[in-house]
Each structure stands twice: as C-alpha cells, then as structure tokens.
Amino acid sequence: MVVSRRGASAKAPRTQFEYPSEHEIIVGDCVAEMSKLPAKSVDLIFADPPYNLQLKGSLKRPDESQVDAVDDDWDKFSSFAAYDDFTRAWLLAARRIMKPSATIWVIGSYHNIFRVGAMMQDLGFWLLNDIVWRKTNPMPNFRGRRFTNAHETMIWAARDENAKGYTFNYETLKAANEDVQARSDWLIPLCTGDERLKGADGKKVHPTQKPEQLLARVLLSSSKPGDLVVDPFNGTGTTGAVAKRLRRRYVGFERDSTYAEAARARIDAVEPLPEDTLKPFVTARDAPRVAFSELIERGMISPGARLVDSKKRHGALVRADGAIMLGDKVGSIHRIGAVAQGSEACNGWTFWHVETAKGLRLIDELRAEIRSEMAAG
C-alpha cells in the first residue's frame, strides 16, 4: 500500500484541506477561487449572492430624503440571462467543493430567489426547506404601491437527492424551543445598532450586512463545531464572525478588498465561545444502542437479581439470557414493565431499578456508564 507523508493511504479520499488559518478571507472572484479548493472538502455553504434588485432611478421617502438603497455595481446585471449565467457558475463551483453530506443555504428576495431555486433543482441539489426570515423592523414601502416587503427567503438544500448523513441538529433545536419542533419561519430583526459596521464617516460599511442572529441559527442548526463553513459572498464577514464564535472553521470569498479588510478586522475581534457551551449532546436518537443483556455480560447485573420499580411495588427476576420474568410472564425489560403497570408500553430503562449496596439504581444509569465508555473509545 502506498502511504502518504501524513501516514494515510494515498488512495484515501482527501477530506481535510489545510488553510493558513482557521478563519480565512480570500479576495477574488468566488467562482475562480472556489475552483482552487479540493472537491468534496466543505461541510456547509452559506451564500448571500447579489440579489439583482434592478432598482431604477433613486428612491426617496415622502419627505424627499434619499433612501440608502442597494445600488452598488456588484448587484447589477445586464439581463436575467446574465444573472442566470452568474448563478449557474457559482452554484456549480459551490457544489463541487461540498462533501456528499454537506448542505448549502442561499438567501435571496423575490427579485432572485425563484430563479436561484429553479437553477438549484436543475443542477441536482435537493431542496430541504425554504426558511422565511420575517423581519421585525422591515423598511416601509415608501411609494405605497405594494405590500411592505417584510421577509427574505433562504433555500436550504443537500448536494443531491441521495445525500445521506447531512447535519441537522434536530434535538438541539427542539430542546432550545421549549421541546417543540423548530419551524421554517424565523422572526429576526434587521442588522442595526452596534452590530452594524460603520466607517470613519459614520456611514454603513456595506449595504446588505446580515444579522448575526440569522447566521447563528443557520450554523447551529446545520453544522457542528470544527466543520468547515464557506461563504462565497463574504461581504462584511457575518458568516465568518458567527462561525468563529461558534468554533467552526471558515473560508470567505470577497471581490471587494475594502469589504474584505473590514471583515478581517471584525472576525479577528471575535472571541470563540467556551467549548463546553457548544459540545454536541448525544440525543436519545443518536446514542449507540445498548442491549439489556450487555449489562449482564459486563457483570453489572447478575442473573437471578431482582429488578424493582421505584416504589418496589413490582419485582422481576433477571434471567441469564437477558429476558426478565414477572410471575409466569417472560419478556424484555420494556414488555414486562408494561405488564407490571397494566399499560400498553413502557420504557424499561427508566422503570426498572436494581438493588445495590448504596440503594436502588436505575438501570438507565448503568446503560449511561456503558455509553460513556463507548464514547471515550
């Protein structure tokens, strides 16, 4: 077998690419720059591309003051076809660097998100959700000719239909949401106040700086600490700042060196959160399966021992084969737990206890000991 200098098989797919630092901003065109990254090396992409707002003329408030609208050259395209070509190019470049288990988020407004979504489907991405970011403080519709445009849409997609093992921190999100499933509509204010980057002239550094709260939700829901996150349209580095705070690695691409400079200073000032506050917790769904018989095999419970409920109203005999017996009924810890209570179902792990020198111990605690040994490797 040919072994590379790092000791891994030379034939093994390269999954780690080393960057000069863990939080990198590269100045240049994202399509050209992404093509320099190894294929299948990135865990998550967040993209906030130009929206092609197609603003015609200047926008004024009723008091004749000028609205600070997005009229920058980087948001201008000569036609829808030109915008579509640009979108296809960067989406293809992004898809190439995504690990098979990676996902991508693309944010946009009614101006572009439908074109982007159709293109993503055409290129083979598999749409997982469209998240509506509802703004608590949207800009009013000054001309009074349309509804107030109070939301933006984020498409969340896997690399392809058969993508397996993508990160979705379902249980964590649910635990943080009063044990209710997290929904696809997020109510979050626009980026204002101290968070908004301002230049020496007191003006906004960038017209479309996204709120950190939005990016925190994106990263907390679909990535893990240590993951490599890429943002092809870095801007002021909101994704990078949040990635660093949440202990994810980051590479951002930005054509404009002034934005890139401001983003670097912003990210440098970020302190990562303490590791313990970000440790993924093993959910019931993810925890390795432990059979009751394993407790017997490891000598934690002996055949012939008695299992009892917390009030010692029921007692079952532990058999050598891992089943338990209550009167003439034999079955699993779950089945016999249900029989004891006259109920349809029972979680035997949280019902049965074993007598120890220090008193009763829930058999679930013994299972937890085995699981932490497994986790320690």
Ligand X SMILES: C[S@@+](CC[C@H](N)C(=O)[O-])C[C@H]1O[C@@H](n2cnc3c(N)ncnc32)[C@H](O)[C@@H]1O
- The site for ligand X (CB under 6 A) is made up of 29-30, 48, 50, 74, 206, 208-210, 233, 235-236, 238, 253-256, 259
Least Å distance, CB 46 to ligand X, is 8
d(CA 270, CA 193): 17
Residues facing residue 154 across a β-bridge: 107, 131
Could you tell me the two tokens for 154? 């984020």
The residue (of 52 and 103) whose beta carbon lies closer to ligand X is 52
Cα-only R_g, the chain? 27
Instruction: Give the strand pairing for 359-362 and 324-326.
Output: unpaired
The residue (of 86 and 142) whose beta carbon lies closer to ligand X is 86
d(CA 293, CA 363): 12
Least Å distance, CB 245 to ligand X, is 14
Least Å distance, CB 92 to ligand X, is 13
Residues 6 or more apart from 251 whose CB is under 8 A from it? 19, 24, 25, 26, 37, 42, 228, 229, 230, 231
The residue (of 235 and 337) whose beta carbon lies closer to ligand X is 235
The residue (of 171 and 256) whose beta carbon lies closer to ligand X is 256
Instruction: For 304, list phi and psi in degrees, rounded to 5.
Output: 100, -15
DSSP 73-134: GGG--SSHHHHHHHHHHHHHHHHHHEEEEEEEEEEE-TTTHHHHHHHHHHTT-EEEEEEEEE
Could you tell me the two tokens for 66? 């000028």
Per-residue burial over 253-291, b if 16 or more Cβ lie within 10 Å, else e, is: bbebeebbebbbebbeebebeeeeebeeeeeeeeeeebe
The residue (of 84 and 355) whose beta carbon lies closer to ligand X is 84
Least Å distance, CB 26 to ligand X, is 9
Residues 6 or more apart from 111 whose CB is under 8 A from it? 51, 52, 53, 54
The residue (of 86 and 170) whose beta carbon lies closer to ligand X is 86
**128 residue type, one letter:** L
**In 3-state terms, what secondary structure has residue 251?**
strand
Do 25 and 234 meet the contact criterion of CB atoms below 8 Å apart?
yes
Least Å distance, CB 332 to ligand X, is 53
Least Å distance, CB 164 to ligand X, is 29
The residue (of 30 and 295) whose beta carbon lies closer to ligand X is 30
Least Å distance, CB 190 to ligand X, is 11
Could you tell me the two tokens for 366? 């013994």
The residue (of 263 and 363) whose beta carbon lies closer to ligand X is 263
Residue facing ligand X at closest CB distance: 235
Least Å distance, CB 228 to ligand X, is 18
d(CA 105, CA 242): 15
The residue (of 259 and 351) whose beta carbon lies closer to ligand X is 259
Least Å distance, CB 25 to ligand X, is 11
